[in-house]
Amino acid sequence: MPLVLLCGLPSSGKSTLAQKLYEHLRNERQCVLLTDEAKLLDRNHIYSDFRLEKELRSELKSDVQRTVSKDVVVILDALNYIKGYRYELYCVSKAIKTTHCVIHCDLPVETCKKWNISRNEEKQYSEEVFTALVQRFEMPDSRNRWDSPLFIIHEGEKLPFQEITDALLTRKAPPPNQSTQSQPLSSTNFLYELDKRTQEVVQAILEAQKTSVIGDLVSVPGTKEKVQLRRNLTLAELTRFRRLFLSYTKMHPVDDTSRIPSMFAQYLNSSI
């Protein structure tokens, strides 16, 4: 069944909307509400530490993977402010051939600040953490398949329950493709090709950065796809992206290894 992602600035009313949607949907079908609240023993400590924040996102993703099925609507109430992370969750839903949607609580920063201050002290974001999260927020864009269908809720607006229900339950799920559909490992040298071709892409990007400027499109071997340099990437960052891509692709191998560079380039563009 479908996956619903809430996203927005801190203290933008995500949990209130998630609860209302949960109460509406559970009247008709099995529904599960997943939230980061139970895991945020000290939100300021977690969101001030990149390692702890990464672990939090990983735990939430694991909760989604364990819960999502053909019989359950899963609502994830969390910041979900990183577009690469939303893409990963989109792939989870697509892999099981189900629909998904994104609900963006689009409130002014000043309103979120006021709401944050009005919360219980243990649930407040410190001014430093609040500002950092606002600056790091990556706005969802309906032109991206992982952010579509996108429902934008402004201050004072109600959830369009019928439109959301139609998007989740009556819309046909996107067809699985080679990057998300589990397939039998037919090529005995698949792992070798996967390692070799992704390493070639990493090396091409590192070499291109020596003479390129921010915003350039970098050609990579084995595909017409190009990687846009939105910022300078270190070897450590590219290695991390490559490792994540390898882990996912090993679980979802493709028959045509020539598509690996294209898939990796698309993954990098969505993650950088």
Read off the pLDDT band of 4 (50, 70, 90): very high
- Does the predicted model carry a pTM greater than 0.95? no
- What is the model's pLDDT at position 183? 43
Give, in degrees to the nearest 5, the angle at Cα 32 between 93 and 42: 95
pLDDT for res 256: 81
CB burial class (10 A; 0-12, 13-18, 19+) of residue 175? Answer: exposed
Whether the pLDDT of residue 84 is over 60: the answer is yes
> What is the C-alpha to C-alpha distance for residues 190 and 185, in angstroms, rounded to an integer?
7
- Angle at which helix 127-136 crosses helix 109-118, to 10 degrees, equals 150
**Cα separation, 150 vs 162, whole angstroms:** 14
Mean pLDDT, range 219-228, rounded to an integer: 90
To the question of domain 3-170 being in CATH 3.40.47.10, the answer is no
Element (H, E) at 22: helix 14-25
Q: Where are the domains of the chain?
A: 3-170, 190-271
Question: Does 250 have pLDDT greater than 90?
Answer: no
**What pLDDT, on a 0 to 100 scale, did the predictor assign at position 96?**
83
CB 177, CB 255: distance < 8 Å: no
From residue 78, how far is each of 98, 239, 259, 265 by CA, in Å? 21, 27, 33, 28
- For residue 32, CA distances in Å to 67, 77, 203 come to 8, 11, 43
Chain segment 168-219, per-residue pLDDT in tens: 888 877 765 544 444 444 445 788 888 899 999 999 999 999 888 888 898 9
Residue pair 74/5 in contact (Cβ under 8 Å)? The answer is no
pLDDT-derived band of residue 118, with 50, 70 and 90 as boundaries? Answer: very high
As to burial, measured by CB atoms within 10 angstroms (0-12 exposed, 13-18 middle, 19+ buried), residue 171 is: middle
Q: Could you tell me if 77 and 7 are in contact, meaning their C-beta atoms sit under 8 angstroms apart?
A: no
Closest CA to 202 of 217, 221, 215, 216: 221
